[in-house]
Amino acid sequence: MAGFSRCSVASTAAKTPTSAAATFSYLIRALSPSFSSSSSTFDPETDLNRGKPPGLGTLKREPKGRNVQWAFLGCPGVGKGTYASRLSNLLGVPHIATGDLVRDELASSGPLSSQLKEIVNQGKLVSDEIIIDLLSKRLEKGEAKGESGFILDGFPRTVRQAEILEGVTDIDLVINLKLREEALLAKCLGRRICSECGGNYNVASIDIKAENGSPGMYMAPLPPPPECASKLITRPDDTEEIVKKRLRVYQTMTQPVEDFYRSRGKLVEFDLPGGILESWPKLLRALNLEDHDDKQSAAA
Ligand code: ADP
């Protein structure tokens, strides 16, 4: 049976709250000093020893009847946005990227704009309070439109964010995308975005030779379609210096989040074997979703 039907059948109880709007009010409440989340006593030392890698059976733990609540972890440039967006189309749930929420806020020239610009352009993380506020508003707006479930991309990025999220809703599965470091930098530097449609492309051609027992890897460029070609821009934080800084910030602030979910049996590790053509079918297989993709392709 395809993964999709497991994900969307009728509901049983999930942890309170079950709706995005309820999550919204809980998230805000969670930021008050008196809030104590269920995972606030998390101790990496002991919890990690208890952790077991989740097998394919992980998907079966999704509560019946609500859409998936998944999150993507992974270093800058790994392709979280690409794969989260593809899965979101496949599963019919919104793809919510906190980086996009931050960039929208930046572009809005609202009160937070200049403060955020400085933080983001230095490769630092935005405060948990601001990011949760942006995410909460996005969830609330989505619920008003009838959205249910989500694929988060770029959240949580600190253990505190993970604890707060875990305290307010059940995340079913966390996909940790991994790619060799030399490819990450090249991918960030090659990233191009269409200023009109927001499409993501990449001009980098990554060809890493096999060395000392590590296999080689080839990732073809992802060229824009002709209508976007003259409108491409680069992100101001995709410079070599800032990407290296973001990679360091990931190691310090976000790698512990991998341990957080690993210890709860929710983490699926996925080493990207190459570009999209090679990686996508393998990712679907790892998530037990390949039947669903076949049906969608046949129906298209
Ligand atoms: P990356 O390519 O580094 O994964 P994103 O597009 O996800 O980039 O995020 C861009 C920037 O937005 C980050 O460098 C950070 O400043 C901010 N940001 C996004 N998500 C979060 C988060 N969950 N917590 C704190 N800051 C965030």
Q: Is 201 exposed, middle or buried (0-12, 13-18, 19+ CB in 10 A)?
A: middle
Q: Which of 83, 100, 101, 102 to mutate to test the pocket of ligand 1 (most atoms within 8 A of CB)?
A: 102
Question: CA angle 112-116-120, nearest 5°?
Answer: 170
Active site amino acids: 80, 157, 191, 235, 246
| Predicted local distance difference test score (pLDDT) of residue 111 | 86
Distance CA 57, CA 53 (A): 11
Closest-CA residue, ligand 1 atom 15, reads: 125
User: Looking up tokens 């572009």, which residue turns up?
Assistant: 107
| Predicted local distance difference test score (pLDDT) of residue 109 | 80
Q: Which of 120, 130, 152 to mutate to test the pocket of ligand 1 (most atoms within 8 A of CB)?
A: 120
Q: Is 240 exposed, middle or buried (0-12, 13-18, 19+ CB in 10 A)?
A: exposed
Closest-CA residue, ligand 1 atom 5, reads: 99
Residue type, 12: T
| Predicted local distance difference test score (pLDDT) of residue 205 | 95
Closest-CA residue, ligand 1 atom 7, reads: 99
Confirm if 25 and 16 have CB atoms less than 8 A apart: no
Instruction: Give pLDDT tens digits for 123-133.
Output: 999 999 999 99
Q: Return the higher-pLDDT residue of 29 and 58.
A: 29
- β-pairing, 267-271 with 173-178? parallel
User: Looking up tokens 């733990």, which residue turns up?
Assistant: 61
Cα–ligand 1 centroid distance for 30 (angstroms)? 21
- HSE of 243 in the Cβ direction (CA atoms, 13 Å)? 21
* pTM summary value: 0.81
How distant, in Å, are the alpha carbons of 64, 246, 289, 292 from that of 6? 7, 36, 10, 11
Distance CA 26, CA 32 (A): 10
Helix (H) or strand (E) holding 290, with range, is: helix 290-299
Q: Is 85 exposed, middle or buried (0-12, 13-18, 19+ CB in 10 A)?
A: middle
3-state helix vs strand vs coil in the chain, percent to 5? 50, 15, 35
Distance CA 150, CA 67 (A): 7
Average pLDDT score, the chain: 81
Helix (H) or strand (E) holding 178, with range, is: strand 173-178
Closest-CA residue, ligand 1 atom 18, reads: 99
Q: Which band of pLDDT confidence, cut at 50, 70 and 90, is reported for residue 210?
A: confident
Residues 6+ apart with CB under 8 A from 142: 20, 94, 96, 150
Instruction: Give pLDDT tens digits for 31-84.
Output: 544 343 333 222 323 332 333 333 323 333 445 667 999 999 999 999 999 999
58-63: list long-range contacts, CB under 8 Å, 24+ apart: 58/172, 58/173, 58/265, 58/266, 58/268, 59/3, 59/6, 59/7, 59/172, 59/173, 59/287, 59/288, 60/6, 61/172, 62/6, 62/7, 62/172, 62/173, 63/11, 63/12, 63/13, 63/14, 63/170, 63/172
User: Looking up tokens 């910030």, which residue turns up?
Assistant: 249
Please report the atom of ligand 1 found closest to the CA of residue 97. 7
Cα–ligand 1 centroid distance for 295 (angstroms)? 34
Query: Which residues line ligand 1 at a C-beta cut-off of 6 Å?
Result: 76, 98-99, 102, 119-120, 124-126, 131, 154-155, 157, 161, 237, 246
Cα–ligand 1 centroid distance for 57 (angstroms)? 30
Cα–ligand 1 centroid distance for 125 (angstroms)? 6
Cα–ligand 1 centroid distance for 129 (angstroms)? 14
